[in-house]
Amino acid sequence: MSRLLAVAPVLPGPAHPQSEITDTIGPLLTRSPATRAVLRRLHAASGVETRHTALRLDEYAGLTSFGEANDHFIRVGTDLAEEACRTALDDAGIDPGEVDFLLFTSVTGIAAPSIDAQLVTRLGLRTDVKRLPSFGLGCVAGAAGIARVHDYLTGHPQDVALLVSVELCSLTLQHGDDSMANLVSTGLFGDGATAVVMVGDAHPAGRPPTLPDGATPDPGARGTRAERASAARTPPRGVEVVDTRSRLYPETADHLGWTIRDSGFGIVLSAGLPEVIAAHLAGDVKSLLVEHDLTTEDIGTWVVHAGGPRILDVVRDSLGLDEADLRHSRESLAAVGNLSSSSVLHVLAATLAARDASPSGGAGPHGVLMAFGPGVSAELVLLRRTPSLEG
């Protein structure tokens, strides 16, 4: 077992209305009035109302070099990663020096040494912290990151792990690309980052406090910082990762991903992606739940990657969910767009923060978190609120 102690989403700069973004980048993609009209319709139908961008909107006209864009990725991405990590560690009551494992993921920029290496000095992590940077999982990496950290903590139950996702999708803008895939993606993807603190079930912060009958937790009690955090823990932090599933669907590589160009990352985005998910999702979810004597009716909360309106529709229809089950996903899509690997983590943060919706609410204590990415791949995570920690 492992536990989620804190999820900290962060965003760069102010929110920009979708229409302002459309008007700014339209001339950078095409000179055709007809194509710009198509662009406006696609952006208006994306389910996105506002987005945050790594740079000021007026800076994108001059962003034509892959090298320059990647320099911005390293600069802005490292700052966002540091902010997210500091917030998550503080919320969890964990000192940076306690972190044993650091998993960093992104698909919108590259660096060597990777951003996680820069975080060691910035955050004051131990120099013997185990690091694992990941590139290429794309939108699925937020869910996959939780799953792989869970795998690590299952084998290292006394350890602390930090998952960091940074996605600056706006920096992948391809000037002069008026393909349908690029027109759609430039209205869908946004910029953001997230840090998640997790611990193994033998770590003090992963265990409920042992108190005499009738006693209440005392945040001021003496002990280690982790022990004090355990005593002060609020109910949303008592979330266990119960199980995970990974799926890669054969012969679907041309549905989602990048083509690497001299100018950077060119989007691969197929109109058939929702149909791929529709063909497999219900069976994949069932195979995960049946091993725990559960069905979809037993799941109180669904934490779904905000991949776009059609993706959310497919998830709803394939699993027989109510629109209310996707409320946080729809709201995240509207407010910040699809944040690639950070998207499902932002949805998770919103879910845990809501008083009326958490993995202990609804029909029972279980929740399912899911995301989809290049491959086409899917990652499912079964969550559970511990009864002894329920508020």
Residue 165 has pLDDT above 80, yes or no: yes
Calculate the alpha carbon distances from 119 to 9, 30, 103, 133, 164 in Å: 17, 39, 11, 12, 10
Residue from 266, 349, 272 nearest 303 by CA: 349
Which tens digit of pLDDT belongs to each residue from 257-310?
999 999 999 999 999 999 999 999 999 999 999 999 999 999 999 999 999 999
Specify the pLDDT at position 238.
Answer: 67
Average pLDDT, the chain: 89
Residue 212 has pLDDT above 60, yes or no: no
Residue 356 has pLDDT above 50, yes or no: no
Which tens digit of pLDDT belongs to each residue from 150-163?
999 999 999 999 99
Both tokens of 371, joined, read 């995301």
- Rounded to an integer, the average pLDDT of 134-161 is 97
Which tens digit of pLDDT belongs to each residue from 77-113?
999 999 999 999 999 999 999 999 999 999 999 999 9
Specify the pLDDT at position 211.
Answer: 44
Calculate the alpha carbon distances from 64 to 173, 224, 265, 269 in Å: 8, 51, 12, 21
Beta-bridge partner residues of 164: 104, 195
Pick the catalytic residue: 139, 163, 164, 241?
Answer: 139
Residues 6+ apart with CB under 8 A from 322: 316
Residue indicated by tokens 């794309």: 138
Specify the pLDDT at position 208.
Answer: 56
Say which residue, 120 or 365, is predicted with more confidence. 120
Calculate the alpha carbon distances from 369 to 87, 175, 193, 351 in Å: 22, 35, 18, 11
169 in active site: no
- Rounded to an integer, the average pLDDT of 237-258 is 90
Residue from 63, 310, 53 nearest 190 by CA: 53
Residue 24 has pLDDT above 90, yes or no: yes
Residue from 128, 120, 100 nearest 2 by CA: 100
Specify the pLDDT at position 355.
Answer: 52
Specify the pLDDT at position 1.
Answer: 82
Specify the pLDDT at position 113.
Answer: 95
CA 304 to chain centre: 10
Residue 10 has pLDDT above 60, yes or no: yes
Specify the pLDDT at position 363.
Answer: 52
Specify the pLDDT at position 357.
Answer: 43
Specify the pLDDT at position 364.
Answer: 75
Residue 336 has pLDDT above 70, yes or no: yes
DSSP H helices in the chain: 18-29, 33-44, 66-92, 115-123, 141-155, 180-185, 225-232, 273-290, 309-319, 327-336, 343-353
